[in-house]
A and B are shown apart, each in its own frame.
Chain A
Amino acid sequence: MKTTFLDFETAISELEEKIDQLRFVQDDPAVDISDEIKRLEAKSQSLTKDLYAKLSPWQIAQVARHPQRPYTLDYASLMFTDFHELHGDRNYADDKAIVGGLARFNGQACVVIGHQKGRDTKEKIARNFGMPRPEGYRKAMRLMKLAEKFALPVFTFVDTPGAYPGIGAEERGQSEAIGHSIYLMSELKTPIISTIIGEGGSGGALAIAVADRVLMLQYSTYSVISPEGCASILWKSAEKAADAAETMGITAARLKSLELVDKVVDEPIGGAHRDHRAMAATLKRALADALRELEALSPSELVEQRYQKLMSYGRYKEKAA
């Protein structure tokens, strides 16, 4: 698959094009340019590394939304075995913007839940661009209760622009569904590990991200509102999205320093979309580490620890009474 380059990657994309042309020429046995290709490949690699070492928050937001970024179902097949997708909220519909099911993680049975975006236009529409409706959250809750009943750990993968703002979603209780899912996760008696893999868009993301451990991929974002939304409200102009991204603090590094996420998982050079397998391998190790720590705790210790963690969120000052 040919890599899709972002606006700020023009230099890399031009170099890669040149490499492709040379490779084509190389098929001619009369000329040997393999050294030249190697040299350019190394240059492209170091160019990518330098560029990605100093991405702005707004550029990171573009990488987080990259059309080739691995999605939940990619991780389900790369990090888990025996994934069996389970469907529906038993009430209204099967929301394809959230997928979930039973799987094995290093041989151990578990529940996997995550937002799912589509690759092509048809799938994007079917999955509503990863924006769940209430039935998506209700399906997620059903699977979490299943996990609790059978003492299985839960892995969630967060990647959504936000919960869907539509008429039907409001009519069927979008707020209640999200609030209820947060409530359920905060007292679920089984380990929950959440990973922000792409866009962590507001309440629609948090609804499946209340966890014992919250991991964030290096170039993922997590925010209370999209940079565009924030800019259009506070600056009255969506053009100011880059400024909003900067000031809101949406990147993994910034959120780790605010102690709102537990671990930042490094991505392959040039982002997760360049190498799904390498990304999955790194993330799998991080998930295994997190699970090992949590399995040492009893269900009541687990819930108590999670509660204390949630209570610690927030920055304020306190006058002596």
Chain B
Amino acid sequence: MSWFEKLIPPRIKRGDSSRSKSIPEGLWSKCEGCESVLYRSDLDSNLGVCPKCGHHHRLRARRRLDQLLDPEGRVEIGAEVTPVDALKFKDSRKYPDRLSAAAADTGEADAMVVMRGAIKTVPVVVACFEFEFLGGSMGSVVGERFVRGARAAFEERLPFICITASGGARMQEGLLSLMQMAKTTASITRLAERRLPFITLLTDPTMGGVSASFAFMGDVVVAEPNALIGFAGPRVIEQTVREKLPEGFQRAEFLLEKGAIDLIVDRRELRDRLAVLLAMLNRQPADVVVG
């Protein structure tokens, strides 16, 4: 800490940081990449990508689906599945209290939204993580909704896409949440039997139990620019190896370089790229992609 910072009373400092966090709520928005001050509407119309530096801001699940899917014919899958507190889990707060707080904040019942719809008229089922709901953590509801999505894809012979944004497994569901890794991953094996494409889109962040289950099992594994993707969190690794992590470690570009993912796609080109890839994996002619 510099001499100057020491002079500032702590209360003023705290006030400052909370104000900067509240900026995105208003008319203006500060880019988390380049810190440019942007019109919120400009950022929104650019799909949450900074028009100045290209930084991809995190998206809420429904907004993401809204951007990706054609407006017509969307049907939600698995919304009937909602969480329970099977372990009577209690840390500093009870799990049901955390759940209701997260539900009040996000308007979602859990950390995943699944929808059947189409991308440029190519029909798909898309499962999307809601990171704002308890860090997108995967518990029983996420697992079950994912599986219902995969099952719908299987039965209707549609491709399945999963968009990840998750800190990993949900601790408050103990081993039940670890088992969701096996449950979700196993459901994907069925799609392979029918030659139905499974595509994963890894967004910021994709860590732990989500990263280490179906995330890399996509027939095509796509990532968004600069997304943090990995098994262990950077802090855990730093504590374990006691050395500074290399520049860009666990970022999408790093993973591409290491051969871990197929491609990085700019969000503004995502609809086009996914529709074209799906049509090819579906063995359909190029003109099925419309719009």
* Chains A and B form a bound pair: yes
Which of B84, B214, B231, B245 is in CB contact (< 8 Å) with A174? B231
Which of A183, A306, A314 is in CB contact (< 8 Å) with B188? A183
Q: How far is the CA of A100 from the CA of B197 in the complex (A)?
A: 33
- Shortest Cβ distance from A225 into B: residue: B171
- A90 an interface residue at 8 Å Cβ cutoff? no
- A175 with B211: CB separation less than 8 A: yes
Which of A182, A255, A306, A320 is in CB contact (< 8 Å) with B80? A320
Q: How far is the CA of A273 from the CA of B214 in the complex (A)?
A: 37
- B212 with A203: CB separation less than 8 A: yes
Q: How far is the CA of A210 from the CA of B187 in the complex (A)?
A: 13
- B53 an interface residue at 8 Å Cβ cutoff? no
> Which residues in chain B, 227-269, are within 8 Å of chain A measured between CB atoms?
229-233, 236-237, 240-241, 243, 245-246, 249-250, 258, 260
Q: How far is the CA of A203 from the CA of B236 in the complex (A)?
A: 15
Contacts of B208 in A (CB 8 A): 203
- B144 with A314: CB separation less than 8 A: yes
- B189 with A183: CB separation less than 8 A: yes
> Which residues in chain B, 199-222, are within 8 Å of chain A measured between CB atoms?
208-209, 211-217
- B214 with A179: CB separation less than 8 A: yes
- B80 with A165: CB separation less than 8 A: no
- A175 with B185, Cβ < 8 A, contacts A234-B92, A235-B92, A319-B82 known: no
- A182 with B171: CB separation less than 8 A: no
- A255 with B175: CB separation less than 8 A: yes
- B226 an interface residue at 8 Å Cβ cutoff? no
- A318 with B183, Cβ < 8 A, contacts A170-B230, A203-B231, A224-B169 known: no
- Shortest Cβ distance from A260 into B: residue: B175
> Which residues in chain A, 294-321, are within 8 Å of chain B measured between CB atoms?
306-307, 310-311, 313-321
Contacts of A317 in B (CB 8 A): 81-84
- A310 with B84: CB separation less than 8 A: no
Q: How far is the CA of A187 from the CA of B83 in the complex (A)?
A: 28
Smallest beta-carbon distance B267→chain A, Å = 22
> Which residues in chain A, 140-163, are within 8 Å of chain B measured between CB atoms?
163
Q: How far is the CA of A166 from the CA of B245 in the complex (A)?
A: 10
- A247 with B216: CB separation less than 8 A: no
> Which residues in chain B, 39-93, are within 8 Å of chain A measured between CB atoms?
80-84, 86-92
Smallest beta-carbon distance A250→chain B, Å = 7
> Which residues in chain B, 165-179, are within 8 Å of chain A measured between CB atoms?
169-171, 173-179
Q: How far is the CA of A169 from the CA of B245 in the complex (A)?
A: 13
Smallest beta-carbon distance A159→chain B, Å = 16
Q: How far is the CA of A176 from the CA of B216 in the complex (A)?
A: 5
- B174 with A175: CB separation less than 8 A: no
Contacts of A316 in B (CB 8 A): 81-84, 140-141, 144
Contacts of A321 in B (CB 8 A): 80
Contacts of A167 in B (CB 8 A): 237, 241, 243, 245-246, 249
- B225 an interface residue at 8 Å Cβ cutoff? no
What bracket does the count of chain A residues touching chain B fall in?
35 or more
Contacts of A243 in B (CB 8 A): 91
Most buried by A among B141, B169, B173, B182: B182
Which of B87, B173, B177, B215 is in CB contact (< 8 Å) with A175? B215
- A318 with B80: CB separation less than 8 A: yes
Contact with A along B184-195 (1 / 0, CB 8 A): 011111100000
Contacts of A183 in B (CB 8 A): 185-186, 188-189, 214, 217
Smallest beta-carbon distance B130→chain A, Å = 16
- A166 with B241: CB separation less than 8 A: yes
- B178 with A223: CB separation less than 8 A: yes
Q: How far is the CA of A186 from the CA of B191 in the complex (A)?
A: 13
- A280 an interface residue at 8 Å Cβ cutoff? no
Contacts of B231 in A (CB 8 A): 163, 165, 169-170, 174-175, 178, 203
- A258 with B181: CB separation less than 8 A: no
- A313 with B180: CB separation less than 8 A: yes
Contact with B along A171-190 (1 / 0, CB 8 A): 11111101110110011000
- Shortest Cβ distance from A187 into B: residue: B189
Smallest beta-carbon distance A299→chain B, Å = 14
Smallest beta-carbon distance A244→chain B, Å = 7
- Shortest Cβ distance from B210 into A: residue: A175
Q: How far is the CA of A321 from the CA of B148 in the complex (A)?
A: 14
- B212 with A179: CB separation less than 8 A: yes
- A248 an interface residue at 8 Å Cβ cutoff? yes
Q: How far is the CA of A167 from the CA of B243 in the complex (A)?
A: 10
Q: Return the 5 tightest CB-CB contacts between A and B, nearest first.
A: A165-B232, A314-B140, A186-B186, A315-B86, A234-B91
* Apart from A179-B185, A202-B169, A313-B182: 12 A-B pairs, beta carbons within 8 A: A167-B243, A173-B216, A176-B216, A179-B217, A202-B209, A224-B177, A234-B92, A247-B87, A311-B147, A311-B186, A313-B180, A316-B140
Residues of A in contact with B (beta carbons under 8 Å apart): 163-167, 169-176, 178-180, 182-183, 186-187, 202-203, 206-207, 210, 222-225, 230, 233-235, 243-244, 247-250, 255, 258, 260, 306-307, 310-311, 313-321
